[in-house]
Amino acid sequence: MTFTLTTPLYYVNDKPHLGSAYTTLACDAVARYQRLKGESVIFITGCDEHGQKIQRTAEAAGLSPQAHCDAVSTQYRDLWERWQISNDRLIRTTDPRHRHIVEQFFARVEAHGDIVEGRQQGWYCVACEEFKDDPHEAQDPECPTHRRPLEWRDEVNLFFRLSRYQEAIEALIAREGFIQPASRRKEVENFVKQGLRDFSISRVNLPWGIPVPGHDGHTFYVWFDALLGYLTALLEPGEEPDLEAAIARGWPASVHVIGKDILRFHAVYWPAMLLSAGLELPEKVFGHGFLTREGQKMGKSLGNVLDPAELLERCGRDAVRWYLLRDIPFGDDGDFQQQRFSDLVNNDLANTIGNLLNRTSAMARRWFEESVPPAGGGLESSHPLALAAAAARRQGLAGLESLDFRSAAEAPLQLAIAANGYLNDQAPWSRMKQEGTREQVAADLYAVLEAARHVGLLLAPLLPELSARMLAQLGQPPLDSGIGSRGGDAHGRSLPDSRTWLDQLAWGGLEPGAALPEPSPVMARLELDTPL
């Protein structure tokens, strides 16, 4: 089985913002975790490039829509490279192959009798690219999300017969674990309970879209085309655009990770479209919360948008990854606070984790010939740090499995706190001054170094760079991240490593007597003297 996971396909109406980086970083942690476990992974991200919003943005910039999309999607590509995102695909819905996949999918849906003509009347938000059900204000209604005027539409369109899928969708969203976190299920349930209405899947007079075969003058509604981008993305680079071939590569998706605002599209419309086309349903849809900044909604008009490229430049990848994944419960809304950001990075990463490793390896090198000390009692599975490491392993893996990144990040942090506490209690620096204590000191240092190795391993999916520096500092070989060796065996699975990441997460992996490289700080402190 391939583990397929997706970020949303981002609109290219504007340059990437922190919200997009947030989802992508979270997905990156999941993809890295699955690869470290030995799974074969297809990690999909991409750009959603059609529709009225993009067409208007391009017009305003005096560019052709294609030139505009090319420019902004390049910014996305660059940003993901600079963040070292391990995506396997970057689909653009203007990829000529995508058009073929959309046509093939539409043919199935139409053959299934799910396409009818109808009249679409209602208030439309171009920024959401969505009809709004019941605007509150009778006059000059606004979009509650974008605070921009809605536009009245009255046109004859093609409709998808969503109403036929009422029961199937009710059963699907009742399924344990399909919508996550569970707290988000209620809002979808309420929407479905009101009765599913057919929705329009084409537009007339909108040239910037994929033409609907057999229906002159119609282009596909941007959401219909965008969701299908998840299927096109499964194709290998250069592969012929064949829907069956795409499916065989890695459908169904294991998880779609999205923001809460687009849950309805993923948990209701998309599954119904898939059922109509006779395709399997995604296993899970995870709707995360929204980021605010210092308590305020981020927006251009407030001038408080955090640019992910600038953030990266000033603070580095490890710091930002840590803050976003460790501080904000994935699923809840979160507030980006500069002071808290630097406090957490400095306390957790520079002090607790970085110093633990530095001071322990400095002592080991000084007293034990620049190498890992003899393990003695430090090797016992009942050693307090062995027990703490086993608990951290359990919590870390469970957290990554369920996309609870906070818990996954706290696991190694708690282990580092326990190891620091143990070191302070045992005080090897005092012991070394006494007679006959060398063996005890060796065992203590061994246990703390071994705990630090576990911390480094458990950080690998979350902070790959800090993890790599920690393991190097402990004289360990780099991890096989699974990236770049994605071919797998004849069954599409990654070939097993002689010592997998999971195998390495066992107490006693450090070899006594192995050389310890000269320590240097693994994590720089974050000094933010001016506002971000």
DSSP 267: I
Binding status of residue 298 toward ligand MSP by CB under 6 A:
yes
Of 444, 453, 450, give the one whose Cα is nearest residue 377: 444
Residue 76 contacts residue 12 (beta carbons within 8 Å): yes
Q: Is 191 a residue that touches ligand MSP (CB under 6 A)?
A: no
Which of 11/323 has CB closer to ligand MSP? 11
What is the closest distance, in whole angstroms, from the C-beta atom of residue 483 to ligand MSP in the complex? 24
Window 12 to 31, contacts with ligand MSP (CB under 6 A) = 19-20, 22-23
Q: C-alpha angle 362/365/371, rounded to 5°?
A: 135
Q: What number of chain residues touch ligand MSP (CB under 6 A)? A: 19
Give 123 or 223: the residue with its C-beta nearer to ligand MSP: 223
Q: Which two tokens stand for residue 444?
A: 């203590």
What is the pairing mode between strands 218-220 and 202-204? Answer: antiparallel
Binding of residue 130 to ligand MSP (CB under 6 A) = no
Work out which of 135, 141, 259, 329 binds ligand MSP, going by CB under 6 A. 259
DSSP 145-157: TT--B-EEEEEEE
Q: Is 76 in the site for ligand MSP (CB under 6 A)?
A: no
**Tokens 């969503």 belong to which residue?**
162
Binding mask 268-297 for ligand MSP (x = CB under 6 A): ----------------------xx------
* Six-digit token string for 143: 């979009």
DSSP, res 236: P
Which is nearest to 319 in space by CA: 303, 297, 340?
340
| Cα 388 to Cα 382: distance, rounded to the nearest angstrom | 10
> Residue 227: which of 192, 179, 189, 268 has the closest Cα?
268
Smallest separation (angstroms) from ligand MSP to the CB of 436: 59
CB of 270 to ligand MSP, least distance (A): 8
The answer to whether the peptide bond before residue 207 is cis (omega within 30 degrees of 0) is: no
Residue 227 within binding range of ligand MSP, rule CB under 6 A: yes
Rounded to a whole number of angstroms, the CA Rg of the chain reads 26
**Residue nearest ligand MSP (C-beta atom):** 259
Q: Which of the ranges 9-17, 103-111, 393-401, 496-504 carries the binding residues for ligand MSP, by CB under 6 A? A: 9-17
Asked if 209 interacts with ligand MSP (CB under 6 A), we say no
Q: Are 459 and 397 in contact (CB under 8 A)?
A: no
Residue 11 found at the interface with ligand MSP (CB under 6 A): yes
Question: What amino acid is encoded at 21 in this protein?
Answer: A
| Nearest approach, Cβ of residue 318 and ligand MSP (Å) | 21
48 near ligand MSP (CB under 6 A)? yes
Q: At closest approach, how far in Å is the CB of 226 from ligand MSP?
A: 4
**Selected range binding ligand MSP among 2-10, 95-103, 317-325, 456-464, rule: CB under 6 A:** 2-10
Does 226 sit near ligand MSP (CB under 6 A)? yes
Of 280, 282, 305, 279, the closest CA to residue 292 belongs to 305
Kindly tell me which residue out of 79, 262, 349, 403 binds ligand MSP, with binding defined by CB under 6 A.
Answer: 262
In the list 2, 3, 9, 403, the residue contacting ligand MSP (rule: CB under 6 A) is 9
Residue 331 makes contact with ligand MSP by CB under 6 A: no
Residue 272, C-beta contacts closer than 8 angstroms, at least 6 positions apart: 160, 162, 165, 168, 169, 196
Smallest distance from ligand MSP to CB 460, Å = 25
Write out the binding residues for ligand MSP, residues 391-450 only, by CB under 6 A.
none
Q: Residue 14 or 380: which CB sits closer to ligand MSP?
A: 14
User: 242 is written with which tokens?
Assistant: 């064949």
Minimum distance, C-beta of residue 9 to ligand MSP, in the bound complex (Å)? 4
Pick the closest to residue 181 from 265, 280, 260 (CA basis).
260
Return the amino acid letter for 186: K
- Provide, rounded to whole angstroms, the least separation between the CB of residue 501 and ligand MSP: 29
Q: Assess 43 for contact with ligand MSP (CB under 6 A).
A: no
Cβ at position 341, least distance to ligand MSP in Å = 16
Nearer to ligand MSP, 55 or 467 (CB): 55
* C-beta neighbour count of 497 within 10 angstroms: 16
CA 123/CA 500 separation, integer angstroms: 55
Nearer to ligand MSP, 165 or 336 (CB): 336
Q: Which residues, 6+ apart, have CB-to-CB distance to 200 below 8 Å?
A: 118, 120, 131, 157, 158, 159, 160, 221
Question: What residues make contact with ligand MSP under the rule CB under 6 A?
Answer: 8-11, 19-20, 22-23, 48, 226-227, 229, 258-259, 261-262, 290-291, 298
